[in-house]
Homo-oligomer: A and B are copies of this chain.
Amino acid sequence: MAKDRKIDLVILGLLFHEDLTGYDIKKRIDGGISFFWKGSFGSIYPALADMEKSGYVEKRGVQTKGRREKILYHITDKGIDALKEWLNVEQAANDLKYETMLKLYFGGAQDKGTALKNIRYFEDQVKSDLAVLRVYQENLKKVMDQKDHIYYYLTVTFGIDTYEAYLKWCGRAKKILGGMEE
């Protein structure tokens, strides 16, 4: 398996539960984990092809019911082993890129109003993302007894907690900047 290609593990993790098409995988990523990990078709399809060649997944039920060809992928024992091995390694790369903070850090090159504008833009984004996460969390609460849902719940909670911290910071930052003489 590609050494540093984490999309492989995302795919294996999703296939652990059920067989999926590349298209399905994209939807699962967008719907459930996109606030902490992203993936595009251009990374998913090549990864699936590579992993099939090296035996981590296999094609199943190339169904054609009226529509175009549809390829379901199934995780193999080798794939399951790789997934479990990854989970057992404590090391995890959490790589954050906040362009908003970059702009704020260099805020001195512009006036205070520009910095405030950038904070407000960030705040709006966070608010709308947070609303989505809250709906998702409510839906999960109803099915918490189902296997694995506790893990989904924990990650969503992580998102909500951090986004709420962002909003609190936005409030404080605006106050501090607002009270500062230019």
Query: Which residue numbers of A lie inside 8 Å of B, CB to CB?
Result: 6, 9-10, 13, 16-17, 32-33, 35-38, 80, 83-84, 86-88, 90-110, 114-115, 117-118, 121-122, 125, 147-148, 150-155, 157-158, 161-162, 164-166, 168-169, 172-173, 176-177, 180
Contact = CB atoms under 8 A, between A and B. Distances in A.
Contacts of A10: 102
Contacts of A165: 161-162, 164-165
B105 A100 contact: no
A102 B93 CA distance: 10
A103 B108 CA distance: 39
Contact of A107 (B106, B151, B158): B151
How many copies of this chain are found per oligomer? 2
A109 B16 CA distance: 7
Chain A binding surface SS class: helix
Contact of A96 (B86, B96, B168): B96
A100 B158 CA distance: 11
